[in-house]
Amino acid sequence: MTTLSRSRARRVATAGLLVAALGGGLAACGGSDVPKAGAHVAATAAARPASGVAALAASKPVRVRVPAAGVDASPILDLGLTDDGTVEVPSVAQADRIGWYDKGVTPGETGPAVLIGHYDTAEGPAVLKDVARIKTGDPVVVTRADGSTATFTVRELQQVDKKNFPTQKVYGNTTRPELRIITCGGDLRDGHRPDNIVIYADLTATTKATS
């Protein structure tokens, strides 16, 4: 098995665990102390930007900016797997933080890099509280540990019931650098939000690492 196929196999094997985590772990978004209105996004998609931006070498994300949603998060959490094999999510105390799933690629590498953040918690609005303001064509700028930046352009927004999470679409292998941002959405049901909102973005610009 080649290195690439091993990497792909690892992501695919992990994807089933991630579905359980995102259906259960991020279901913790919400609570009786937050507003009843939930985040809703229209399922929209734009044409994929023309290829031509070279992938970057691996370097961990240290800052994420999504101007349309007022997000400027730093430092970035490393999210691995819990003891039961599900993905970690930011804690309630870290509701103002964005996490990167560190078993996948780093933003800017070839493949789907995954970022996770709360829409809200039982203590109130969280880092992605304005996710509904994000539209196709909006930029997401990731600053990396080596000083480089990777700018992604939002191509698609999708809202799905957590029971029907699109595992392959989110975590499946890609031939170019892509980004996913995942949070909760929908109106509260029994103190939890039933949906996931997934933002799909493509790498469209980079700056070099600092020396």
Q: What's the pLDDT tens digit per position in 118-165?
A: 999 889 999 999 999 999 999 999 999 999 999 999 999 999 998 898
Mean pLDDT of 6-15: 41
Indicate whether this model's pTM tops 0.85.
no
pLDDT recorded at residue 175: 95
Q: What is the pLDDT of residues 20-44, one digit of tens each?
A: 444 443 444 654 333 445 677 777 7
From 8-17, 79-88, 95-104, 108-117, the region with the lowest mean pLDDT: 8-17
Whether a cis peptide bond, with omega within 30° of 0, leads into 107 is no
Query: 162 and 195 in contact (C-beta within 8 Å)?
Result: yes
What is the spatial distance between Cα 34 and Cα 191, in angstroms, rounded to a whole number?
9
From 59-73, 97-111, 163-177, the region with the lowest mean pLDDT: 163-177
pLDDT recorded at residue 50: 65
pLDDT recorded at residue 41: 73
Mean pLDDT of 10-25: 41
CA 204 to the chain's CA centroid: 17
Q: Show the domains of the chain with their CATH numbers.
A: 3-207 (2.40.260.10)
Q: Is the pLDDT of residue 13 over 50?
A: no
Q: Which residue has the tokens 């098995």?
A: 1
Closest CA to 113 of 74, 142, 91, 148: 142
Structure tokens at 76: 């970035």
From 37-41, 64-68, 75-79, the region with the lowest mean pLDDT: 37-41
3-state secondary structure of 205: strand
What is the spatial distance between Cα 54 and Cα 51, in angstroms, rounded to a whole number?
9
Q: Is the pLDDT of residue 19 over 90?
A: no
> Model confidence at 111, in pLDDT bands (50, 70, 90)?
very high
Residues in the chain: 211
With b meaning 16 or more CB within 10 Å and e meaning fewer, what string describes 144-182?
A: bebebbbbbbbbbbbbbebeebeeeebbeeeebbbbbbb
On the CB side of 93, CA atoms within 13 Å amount to 0
pLDDT recorded at residue 51: 64
Q: Is the pLDDT of residue 55 over 60?
A: yes
> Model confidence at 113, in pLDDT bands (50, 70, 90)?
very high
On the CB side of 113, CA atoms within 13 Å amount to 33
Closest CA to 60 of 141, 139, 140, 146: 146
